[in-house]
Structure 1
Amino acid sequence: MKASLRRLHLSVPESWKTSVTIRRLLFLFLGLMIYLPLMGDVLPKTFDLNVNTVSDVTLTAPVTVEDTEATEQARAKAISEVQPVYSRDDTITMHQVKLVSFIYKKASELAARQDMTPEAKLKELKENIPFSLSADTMQSLLTMPAPALNAAAQETNKVVTSIMQKGIDKKTTSDPEVIQQLVNQQIVLVDLDSKSRKVVREVAMPSIAPNVTINEESTNTLKETVRRSVKPIMIYKGEVLVEKDQYISEEVYRKLNAAGLLERNASKLPFLGLALLVLFSVLFLRTYIAQAHRKIYGSNAHILMLSLIIFLNIIFMKIMSSFSTIDFFSPGYVVPIALGSMLIAILLDTQLAIVCSVLFAFAAGIIFNFESLLPVDFRYALYGFLSGVAGAYSLGKATKRTRILQAGFLVSAMNVVAITALYLLVSSTGSWRELLNEYAFGMISGLLAAVLAIGLLPFFEGLFGILSPMRLIELSSPNQPLLRRMLMETPGTYHHSMMVASLSEAACEAVGADGLLARVGAYYHDVGKMKRPHFFIENQINRDNPHDTLAPGLSKRIIIAHVEDGVRILEENGLPKQIIDFAQQHHGTTLLKFFYHKAAKASDTPIPESEYRYPGPKAQTRETAIVGICDSAEAAVRSMSHPTPESIETLVRRIIADRLEDGQFNECDLTMQELECVAQTICETLQGFFHNRIEYPDDKQVAVKQA
C-alpha cells in the first residue's frame, strides 16, 4: 500500500502544489466538506404527506420546535377561564346615601308644613322620590314623629352604606329577592318598631344601586399574565410524530408541519445560516494559516490533507450520531473527536490543531444536538473542544507511535474531567449510573482516537509525502535496510554520514530549522556511493586511489554519478521525497575543483566549468543547504593532518564563502546572520570531534622511567 501511495504521489505534477487557483478551489472544497455533512442537522428531510392518508414512513422530530398552534389553543383556553376584574365606584355609594338623606329630609319638611293638604304633601313627596314607594310607606314618611323619622333615616343610611361598600353589581340589583335578603340581614337587629322597620326596608331596597364595574385595563393585564404563564407546547427532537402505516390526522399533520417535515412548508433559512457560519469559519481558517503558517499555506498538498482530515473527523461524528436511538449509548461522548486534532498536530502543526479544535467543537454541537432548542448544544461543543485541545497538546513533538497511545490516555482523562464539569453545570439531569456510563464512553473516545490516529498516520504520510517526527525516527534507525547495507558495503561513507548528521542537526537547531529532518537526510545523502564505493576516498582503506590512473573526465563522471545513483536507490527503496532531496541537492551545482584543474592543466584548450559541475538543483531549503555545508566541512577537516581550532574555523568559513560566492544559497532562505550562526556551530562541533588528545605512554615506557 505504501508503494502504491508513493507512486501516486510521485505521478502527480508538482505545479499543482503552489497554484493559487488550486488553493482557492481547495478552500472552497473544504467549505463544502464542512457544509454538506451538517445540512441534515440544521434542516430535516421533507416528505410529501397529506391529511387523511396513511404514512409510509416513521418520522421523528429532527429538531426541538414549538407547536405554536397547540400553544395558542392552550393560551386561549386559559384566557377564557379568567374572571373579570371589578372596581367599586364609591361616588355612587355617596350619591345613593345623599339620596336617602334627601328623601327623609323632604318628608320631614312636608310633614311640618301646615299650609298644605295631606294630598298635596303626598303628591309633592312622590314627585321628589326617583323611585316608587308603596302608599303606606309614603304615608308613614309624612306622618311619623320627627324622632322616629330621624332614627329611620339614620338606619336607612347605615344599611345602604354597609351593603354598597361590599360592592354591588347589576346582576345583584336585578334580583329583588337578593336585595331584600341583604337588607333584612342588616335591619334584623335594629331597635325600631315594625312601622319604622318597614319604612327603612322600603326606602333602602330601591336606594341600593350597582357600584361595581368591570375594570377593562386590569382584566386585560390579568389575561396577558395568564397567557404568558402558559408554557409553550414543544415538539422535542427525537419524538415520534407518526408511525409507518399510521393514519395522518389533522393534529399529526400539524405537528409534522411544525417540525418542518412537510415539503410545502419547509424553511430554507437554516441552510443560509449554516452557509454563513461555514463561510466565516473557512475564511478565518484561511486567514490564520496564511498569516501564522505560511509554509503550510504555500503547499496545496498540506491544504488538501488538512481538508481531508477535517472531513474525516466530521464523518466519524455523523456515523456515531446515527446510533443516537440506542438507549444506553452516548454518541456525543464516545465519538473520537480528538482524532482530527491529533493528526493535524502530528502532520502539520500543534497551534493549527488547536484552532481546528474550535471547528470540530462547532460541528459536534450541531451534529449531537438531540435536545437543545438552539442550533448548537453547548455541552457537546465544550466537550469536543476540550478533547481536541488535549489531543493536540498531549502529543507535543511525538517521535514514537507509542506516544500517540499515551496521548489517547490523556485525552480519556480530559474527557472524564469535561463530562464531570458538564454534569455539575447541568446537575438537574441524569443519574449517577448515567454519569458512570458517560465516563466509560469518554475513555473509549480517547483510546479510539489514538488507535485510529496510529492507523491513519501511514496513509497520510504515504499519500502526501509527509515526514512526521515519528517517520523520521523510524528512518534513522540503524536497522533500516539501506543504512545496514551502507554500514556493510561502505563503512567509511557510513561513518562520514553519521558525522555530517551530527553537524547538520546542531547547525539546523541553532538557526531554528528542522534538526531531525537534517539529521535523517544526512544519513542518506551519500547512499549513491554504494554503487562504486572504492572510488571515494573515505572507503579507500589500505587501497590505492583509482583516480590516480583515470582521466579527469572519467573521474568526474564517476563522482557526479553518485548523486543520480543515490536518487535512484532512494526512490527504489520508497523513501520520501524530502529525504531524496538531500541526496539530490547537497552538492548543488558546485564545481569539482580538483578534477577541473587537473583536466585544465592537461588540456591545451580552455575547458568550460559547466562540464565539471554537479547537475543540481541548488539547495531549495535551509536543511539541504546546511547538510551540503557540513558535508564539505567534515570531509575537508578530516583530510587535515593536525586540525587546530583556528585552522578548522578558517576552513569552514572559506567553504561557506565559496558557496555563497558561487550562488549556491540563492534558491533557499538562508540569511547572512543564519550563515554566521551555522559557521560558529559547525566549528564548535568539529572542534569537539577533532580535539587534541593526551598521548599516554605505554607500559614499557612507564617501566623504564620508574627504573
Structure 2
Amino acid sequence: MKAKLRQLFRAVPDTWKTSATIRSLLFIVLGLLIYLPIMSDVLPKTFDLNVNTVSGVTLTAPVTVEDTEATEQARAKAVRDMRPVYARNDAVTVHQLKLVNFVFKKVTDLQGQTETTPDAKLKDLKESSPFALPGDTMPALLAMPAASLTAAAQETNKVVTAVMQKGIDQNVAREEIQQQVNQQLVLADLDSRTRKIVREIAIASIVPNVTIDEEATNALKETVRRSVKPTMIYKGEVLVEKGQYISEQVYHRLDAAGLLERNASYLPFFGLAMCAGFFVLFLAFYLSQAHRDVYWDNSKILLLSSIICLTIIVMKITSMGKGINFFLPGYAVPIALGSMLIAILLDTQLAVICSVLFAFISGIVFNYESLLPVDFRYVLYGFVTGVAGAYSLGKATKRTRILQAGFLVAIINVLTIVALYLLLSSSTGWRDVLNQSVFGILSGMLAAILAIGFLPLFEGIFGILSPMRLIELSNPNQPLMRRLLMETPGTYHHSMMVANLSEAACEAVGADGLLARVGAYYHDVGKMKRPHFFVENQINRDNPHDTLAPGLSKRIIIAHVEDGVKMLKEYNIPKQIIDFAQQHHGTTLLKFFYHKASQLSETPVSEEEYRYPGPKAQTRETAIVGICDSAEAAVRSLASPTPERIEQLVRRIIADRLEDGQFNECDLTMQELERVTKSICETLQGFFHNRIEYPDDKQVAVKQA
C-alpha cells in the first residue's frame, strides 16, 4: 500500500510543488481541515421537539450554560420570601406629641372660659379632640386641677415618647401597646385618677411609626438577587431520555441548552472560522519568513497539513471516550504526536508553533465544564505537552529515541497536571490527581508509539528523509549496500572514503552532513552493472579501456549514472539519495577520453559528446559529494601524496568545476568553497599521511654488528 501511494505521489508532475496556486489551495484546505472536524464542538445539533410529545432521542447538554429562566424564578422567590427593611419615622412621634399637647392645651383653655357651661365645654372638647377617648376621660380632664393637668401632660409626653422611640410597626397589637404604657406608668408619681387619664390618652396617641424603607428594601432586594447562584445546565447532563415525556420544564431546559431548532445560532461557526483563518494566515506568513524551504515546497505544506489533520482526528477519536466514568480523554489524548512528527520530518520550531494550534483545539474539543468555548486547562496542558514533544527529541537518529522522548513527555504531563491541581485545588482531590496523572503518562507513551508507527508512512509517501531513515539507509546490511560490498569492493571502499570526506565538508559549511554521507554511500551503485570498467575494481586486472574506442569507453563510464538511478528506483531508495547518483558528476567533461578521442580523430571532437548528461548539482550536499568524489579518486592516484600536493590537487579540481559552471545551480558561496577545501585537505591528509619505514630484520642485525 505504501509503495503504491509513493508511486502515485511520484507520478504527479513536479511542477505542482512550486505552484503558487496549489500553495494557496493547500492553505485553504488546511483551514478547512482545522475547521470542519471541530465545528460540532462549538455549536450543538438542534432538534424539532415540542411540549407534550415523547422524545425519540436521548439528549445531553452539549455545553455548560445558565438556565436564565430558572435562575430568574429562583431570584424572584428569594425576593418574595425576604422581609422588607423597616425604619422608624420620628416625624410621626413628633406629630403625635403635638396632638397630645393640643388636647391638654384645649382643656386648659376650656377651663378658663367661665361663662361657658360644662356641657358646652365637654361638647367642644369632644369635637376638637384628635383622639377617641373613653366617655369618662374627657369630663375627668375638664374637672382636673391645673397642677394635676400640668403633671398629666408632662407624664403623657414622657410615656408616648418612651414607647414610640422603641418603634411601633403595623403588626403590633393594641394589647402590647397597653402593656408597654402600663410599664412606663409603674413608677409615675400620680394619683390613680390622673394615672388613668394619662394611660388612656397615651394609648390613644401611640400609633405605628415604623414604615417600610423603600430605598433600603430595594437595595436588599438587589443583594438577595445577586446572592442567588445561577441555575446551571452542565455539559453532558442528560436533559431528556429517549421515550420520555417532554414537559414544560424539560422543554425549557432543552431550549436553554440550545438544542431546539427555533433558537439555533450560527455565530459560533463564524467565530471558529475566523480563528482557523487567523492561524492559517499566521502560519503562511511564518513559513514565508522563517522556513522558506517549507513554504516554497508544496509537498512539505501537504505533509504539514496531513500531520495537523491526523492530530485533530486522534483528538476527536479520544474525545469519544468522554462517557466512560474513569476515562479522562482531555489528559489521555496524545497531543505530542503531531509535535513529534513535525519536529522529526520538518522542523522543531515549526512544531512549537503548531503546538499552539493543537492546544487551542484541545481546549475546544475537551471543554466539558467551562462556560467559555475554550477550557484553559486543556489549552495549557496541550501546549506544554506539545512543546515537550517537540524539544525532547533533539537530533533523533534512532527510533528508540522517540520512546525516550515519550517517557519525558509523560513526566512533563504529570507535572503539568499537578500544577493545574494546585491552581484549582478546591475542585479536585489528590485521588483524582493520581487518576489524571495515569492518563498523562498514557498520553506521552501513546504519542511516542503512534509517532513510531506513522513515521515510516509519512517518510515513504512524501519521500522525507528523517535522520532515522538516513541511519537505516546507511546500514551495511541494506540489500543494495550488501551488493555493493560483495560485487564491487573497490567501489564500496571508494564510497566510504567519499562519505567521510563529504560529511566533514558539509558540517564545515552548515549543510546536512548525514545526508551527504548516506548519499555518498549510494552515489556509485551504477558501477555494479559493469564493475571491471572502473579503475578501483581493476585489482590485478588489465584496464579494458586500453583496447576500447574512446567513444565506447565514454558511453560505459557515463552509463553508470543512469544505471545507478534505475537501480536506486528499483530498490525504492528516496529521491534525495537518487539525486546524489544523478548529480554528483553534473555535466563535467570526461577529459581523458575526450583528449584520447581528439588525438585519434582527424576531425574536431565535440565536448558535448563527452560530458555527463547532468543535471548539475542542485544542492550544497550533492555539489560537495561531487567534489569529494573527484578529489578522493585523484589523490588516490598520487604516488606520494604530500599535504602540499593534496591541497594543490583539491584546489585545482574545485577551480575547474567552478570555471565549468558546475556550481551555478546550487547555493555554494566562495567562502563556503574555501571551507570545503580546507576540510577535504585535512581529512585527506589524515588518510594519506607519511608512514615510518621500518627496517627489516637483516638491516637491524647488520646495524647491531
Taking structure 2 as the reference length, the TM-score comes to 0.96
Partner SS, residue 87 of structure 1: strand
Letter paired with 1:644: T
- What does 1:261-276 align with in structure 2 at a 5 Å threshold? 261-276=259-274
Distance 2:259 2:75 in 1: 25
Instruction: Give the match's secondary structure for 1:322.
Output: helix
1:111 aligns with 2:111: yes
1:290 to 288, 291, 309: 288
| Residue number among 201, 221, 224 corresponding to 1:223 in the alignment | 221
Match of 1:204 in 2: 202
Matches within 5 A, 1:197-596: 197-596=195-594
The residue matched to 1:241 in structure 2 has which SS? strand
> Where does residue 628 of structure 2 map in the other structure?
630
Alignment of 1:645 onto 2:658: no
8 Å Cα contact 1:591/1:614 also seen in 2: yes
Query: Is 2:147 the counterpart of 1:147?
Result: yes
Please give the alpha-carbon distance, in whole angstroms, between the structure 2 residues aligned to 1:685 and 1:66.
Answer: 74
What's the Cα RMSD here?
1.9
The one-letter amino acid of 1:519's match is R
Q: Match for residue 19 of structure 2?
A: 19
Residue 93 of structure 2 corresponds to which residue in structure 1?
Answer: 93
CA distance in 2 between counterparts of 1:561 and 1:412 reads 53
Cα-to-partner distance string for 1:256-312 (whole Å, 9 max, x where unaligned): 111111122111121122112111122222222221111111111111111111111
Structure 2 counterpart SS, 1:324: helix
1:682 is matched with: 680
The percentage of counterpart residues that share the same residue type is 76
Shift of 1:72: 0.7
Instruction: State the alpha-carbon separation in 1 of the partners of residues 594 and 295 from structure 2.
Output: 43
Structure 2 CA distance for aligned equivalents of residues 225 and 135 of structure 1: 52
Deviation at 1:126, TM superposition (A): 5.1
TM-fit CA distance, 1:65: 0.7
Farther-moved stretch of structure 1 (644-653 vs 611-620)? 644-653
Q: What is the identity, as a one-letter code, of the residue corresponding to 1:161?
A: T
CA contact under 8 A between 1:9 and 1:465: conserved in structure 2? no
> 2 CA distance for matches of 1:702 and 1:357?
73
Distance 2:650 2:324 in 1: 70
Question: How much has 1:193 moved relative to structure 2?
Answer: 2.2
Amino acid at match of 2:334: P
**Structure 1: 4+ residue segments shifted above 6 A:** none
Match of 1:538, as an amino acid? Answer: E
d(CA) in 1 for partners of 2:453, 2:175: 95
SS at match of 1:213: strand
Deviations 1:2-56 (A, max 9, x none): 4323322321211111111111111111111111111111111111111111111
Structure 1 pair 318/657, CA: closer, same or farther in 2 (3 Å)? same
CA distance in 2, matches of 1:461, 1:171: 89
1:330 is displaced (CA, Å) by 1.6
- In structure 2, what is the Cα distance between the partners aligned to 1:171 and 1:478? 105
1: CA distance, partners of 2:461 / 2:45 = 36
Instruction: State the alpha-carbon separation in 2 of the partners of residues 323 and 374 from structure 1.
Output: 22
1:139-178, Cα deviation, whole Å (9 max, x unpaired): 3333312221122111100121112112234565xx7555
C-alpha distance in structure 2 between counterparts of 1:92 and 1:430, whole Å? 58
CA distance in 2, matches of 1:423, 1:120: 92
Residue 32 of structure 2 corresponds to 32
Shift of 1:331: 1.6
Q: How many residues align?
A: 705
Cα offset, 1:346, TM superposition: 1.0
Task: Please state how far the C-alpha of 1:607 moved relative to its aligned partner.
Answer: 2.2
Distance 2:594 2:570 in 1: 32
How far does residue 652 in structure 1 lie from its aligned partner after superposition? 1.4
Q: Any unmatched runs of 5+ in structure 1?
A: none
In structure 2, relative to structure 1, the CA distance for the partners of 1:684 and 1:256 (3 Å cut) is same
Which residue number corresponds to residue 52 of structure 1? 52
Task: Show the counterpart of 2:671.
Answer: 673
Query: Unaligned regions of 5+ residues in structure 2, if any?
Result: none
Stretch of structure 1 that moved more, 114-123 or 350-359: 114-123
Aligned partners of 2:174, 2:239: CA distance in 1, in Å? 58
Given residue 252 of structure 2, which amino acid in structure 1 is its aligned partner?
R
Q: Give the TM-score of the pair, scaled to structure 1.
A: 0.96
